[in-house]
Structure 1
Amino acid sequence: MSASFIGQRIKALREERKLSQDDLARLFGFKDRQTVSAIETGERRVTAEELVIAVEKLGASLDYFTDPFLLVGEGRFSWRQTNVGLQRLSAYERNAGRWIAAFRSIAPQVGREAPLLRSALGLHKGSRFEDAMEAGERFVAEFKLGDVPAARLAEVMERELGILVLHVDAFDGISGAACRLPELDVVLINRHEVVGRRHFDLAHELLHILTWDAMPPEHSEDASETSKNRVEQLANNFASAVLMPAAILDRFGDWSAIAVRELPAKLNAAADTLLVTASALKWRLVALDRLKPAAARAVPDAVLRNNGRDAAQAVTPPLFSKPFMEVIGLAVDQGRVSARRAAGLTDLTVDELGELFVTHGVPSPLEL
């Protein structure tokens, strides 16, 4: 294990316990805090004896310091949620960190290295909403997302940008999250949300990933298209443009010429085609001046809910993603992790894990 790996976890635990480097130096019996600093930055390795002291004096398990399938003191998350308490969110974040850490640790071992360079957008907090929408339109054109951008967005993010996308089981209130690691970007999406909402969350989190250094998002934000947070507003405008480019919307005809009584059916049908929500489509048309605000307000959101269909008709995507399952499958096949360990990391039984390989079209290393 690298020296920086354990050092990062010692630093994370020290900060959690509100200890100074001088406090830690006294605990370990070092002469000064410079030794602690060198350990935390990875310049100096921790000896076996010092690791035992850390376990005993800091009250943490040995796994806390040595398990590569934990995310401690490294990942920065930004959650889209509604009325989720910090304690529940933190507990879920720790669990999600296991999936991310497992992929981060295993992927290089099976030949799936992270990209050398990160893509970025030239947006910042001072950017106009029009700038964010223009960036979204350019993204669609550059990556050739086609007539239904939502259909290929996750694939482009994973295969061309190196962003890991995971569809996960999350409790009500969590829409998704972006996660930034030194060497990996991840987007989590609650797979139980309606398809249009999932795609909007995906495009929204993409903006955070592509602008993280210029305007780091808050750890937790309300999952609302009416957020007052400037960064969230820019992300919403970018997401709308990615999923609903102006040129594609214009192919549906002259929206301003449609009678108000006919608008709900037209919006619901177009939203179904584009795999977005009819409500998001309505306000995107207003932003593009294809629909007057008064006409939009005359169409109540109730008639657009689930694009006018029964929510029970929605199809839930399989857990995680194909690239994630490919890495796990290769690791099991090569003996780098046992099937039981892999199942435990994904919160599945061995049989469920085997079935998930098949669902994703990944060669299964397990005998079902």
Structure 2
Amino acid sequence: MVDALAGFDYRIDLPPLPATPADGSLIKQGAELAREAETMIGRSPRGVTARALAEQWEQTFGLVAAAVELPDGLDGLSWDSGDFRLILVARTHLWTRQRFTLAHELGHILAGDAVERPLAEHVTPSTDQALAEVRANAFAAELLMPRSELLETVTAHARLDKQALLSLSWEYLVSPSAMATRLHALEIISDDERRQWSACTTRMAALHTGDPGPHMQYAQQADDGWYSTRLAKLAISAYVHGDISIRLVATVTGMDPDQLLDLFHPGPDTLDDGPHGTSATSPAELAFSP
């Protein structure tokens, strides 16, 4: 799809990536790389869903990112071919896992781990992994739960107990296990507390807020999957300028071509699947924003 659009001169710009730190442990390298990424992104990830994060990161780093059906046991895939930067995450109702995987794969892209070939993997947020995985996990933890921001948030809690952990995990949209691991890594809680609190679930965190509705919405969106907004907008632009048919837009978005034609050309005259000169700023184009 990227190649097809590039053939009509619709290309995704590839901005320079931050340099991977060479000094210190892999955990320190991952954290430092995440802080550089935070500066480039310019906004906090706290409370932002996986799809919205993907849209931000597509703009910042020139990515194509989507949640799609992947083979069993495969959580994510990353690849920097030199012509495009790709991140795929698996469709799953475990939305906090999908969000962590998205950040983990971004860590691989920025560290240059996925340059020679696509890197497909089962992601686990522990440090008992291969060297590149240690760095990618440290990157994801720092990016999703920034040290300085998290320390400030923690001080707002009079007492750091299991209930506070549930509140923190929901506020940062990570699993209680990931939050407990992060708090232990920052030497805020003991290893015993980490082990005990890691048994908590995201559902428990959602119930703790008193409004579990968003938990179900996030799970549904993660399980349904989502397409690359950046790639979709390129395809839509190519269509409305008459360069491609509606079928490539359908391929990018996963939508039915006839439904797309109804969006672009409401009314009885929607049988032709070719472009009709719709304005590039029409409401149809805006319909593809997450």
TM-score (norm 2): 0.73
Q: Residue in 2 aligned with 1:364?
A: 284
What CA distance in whole angstroms lies between the structure 2 residues aligned with 1:252 and 1:356? 44
Percentage of matched positions with identical amino acids = 25
What CA distance in whole angstroms lies between the structure 2 residues aligned with 1:294 and 1:362? 57
Superposed, 1:15-164 pairs within 5 Å as: 102-107=1-6, 109=8, 111-115=10-14, 117-123=15-21, 127-146=25-44, 148=46, 150=48, 153-164=53-64
Q: Does 1:331 align with 2:230?
A: no
What CA distance in whole angstroms lies between the structure 2 residues aligned with 1:128 and 1:308? 31
The answer to which structure, 1 or 2, has the higher relative contact order (CA under 8 A, 6+ apart) is: 2
Q: Is the 8 A contact 1:132 1:235 kept in 2?
A: yes
Q: Is the 8 A contact 1:285 1:291 kept in 2?
A: yes
Residue 337 of structure 1: SS of its match in structure 2?
coil
Q: Which runs of 5+ in 1 are unaligned?
A: 1-101
Superposed, 1:295-306 pairs within 5 Å as: 295-301=193-199, 303-306=200-203
Q: Does 1:308 align with 2:205?
A: yes
Superposed, 1:120-269 pairs within 5 Å as: 120-123=18-21, 127-146=25-44, 148=46, 150=48, 153-170=53-70, 172-212=72-112, 219-226=119-126, 227-254=128-155, 258=159, 262-263=161-162, 265-269=163-167
Residue 170 of structure 1: SS of its match in structure 2?
coil
Shift of residue 351, structure 1, vs aligned partner: 3.5
- Let me know the Cα RMSD of the aligned residues: 3.5
Matched AA of 1:321: S
Residue 291 of structure 1: SS of its match in structure 2?
coil
Shift of residue 169, structure 1, vs aligned partner: 3.4
Residue 187 of structure 1: SS of its match in structure 2?
strand
Shift of residue 339, structure 1, vs aligned partner: 1.7
Q: Could you list the per-position Cα deviations for residues 114-152 of structure 1 after superposition, in whole angstroms to 9, with x for gaps in the alignment? A: 32x531432469743123213223322343223628556
What CA distance in whole angstroms lies between the structure 2 residues aligned with 1:253 and 1:182? 41
CA 1:354/1:241 → structure 2, altered by over 3 Å: closer, same or farther? farther
Q: Is the 8 A contact 1:326 1:362 kept in 2?
A: no
Shift of residue 241, structure 1, vs aligned partner: 0.2
Shift of residue 196, structure 1, vs aligned partner: 2.1
Q: Does 1:289 align with 2:162?
A: no
Residue 82 of structure 2: SS of its match in structure 1?
coil
What CA distance in whole angstroms lies between the structure 2 residues aligned with 1:362 and 1:191? 30
Residue 165 of structure 1: SS of its match in structure 2?
strand
CA 1:208/1:355 → structure 2, altered by over 3 Å: closer, same or farther? farther
**Alignment partner of 1:273 out of 171, 180, 189:** 171
More divergent stretch after superposition (178-187 vs 346-355): 346-355
What CA distance in whole angstroms lies between the structure 1 residues aligned with 2:25 and 2:115? 11
What CA distance in whole angstroms lies between the structure 1 residues aligned with 2:105 and 2:205? 26
More divergent stretch after superposition (171-180 vs 307-316): 307-316
Residue 109 of structure 1: SS of its match in structure 2?
coil
Q: Could you list the per-position Cα deviations for residues 212-242 of structure 1 after superposition, in whole angstroms to 9, with x for gaps in the alignment? A: 2698688443321234211011100111001
Shift of residue 193, structure 1, vs aligned partner: 4.1
Q: Is the 8 A contact 1:256 1:291 kept in 2?
A: no
TM-score (norm 1): 0.59
What CA distance in whole angstroms lies between the structure 2 residues aligned with 1:123 and 1:216? 20
What CA distance in whole angstroms lies between the structure 1 residues aligned with 2:17 and 2:43? 17
Q: Could you list the per-position Cα deviations for residues 248-272 of structure 1 after superposition, in whole angstroms to 9, with x for gaps in the alignment? A: 212333499746xx41x22222122
What CA distance in whole angstroms lies between the structure 2 residues aligned with 1:217 and 1:225? 23
CA 1:233/1:105 → structure 2, altered by over 3 Å: closer, same or farther? same
What CA distance in whole angstroms lies between the structure 1 residues aligned with 2:257 and 2:69? 18
Shift of residue 153, structure 1, vs aligned partner: 3.7
What CA distance in whole angstroms lies between the structure 1 residues aligned with 2:178 and 2:95? 12
Provide the aligned length of Structure 1 versus Structure 2.
Answer: 256
What CA distance in whole angstroms lies between the structure 1 residues aligned with 2:193 and 2:43? 30
Q: Which structure's CA Rg is the greater one?
A: 1
Q: Is the 8 A contact 2:96 2:175 kept in 1?
A: yes
CA 1:159/1:217 → structure 2, altered by over 3 Å: closer, same or farther? same
Q: Is the 8 A contact 1:208 1:217 kept in 2?
A: no
What CA distance in whole angstroms lies between the structure 2 residues aligned with 1:174 and 1:233? 18
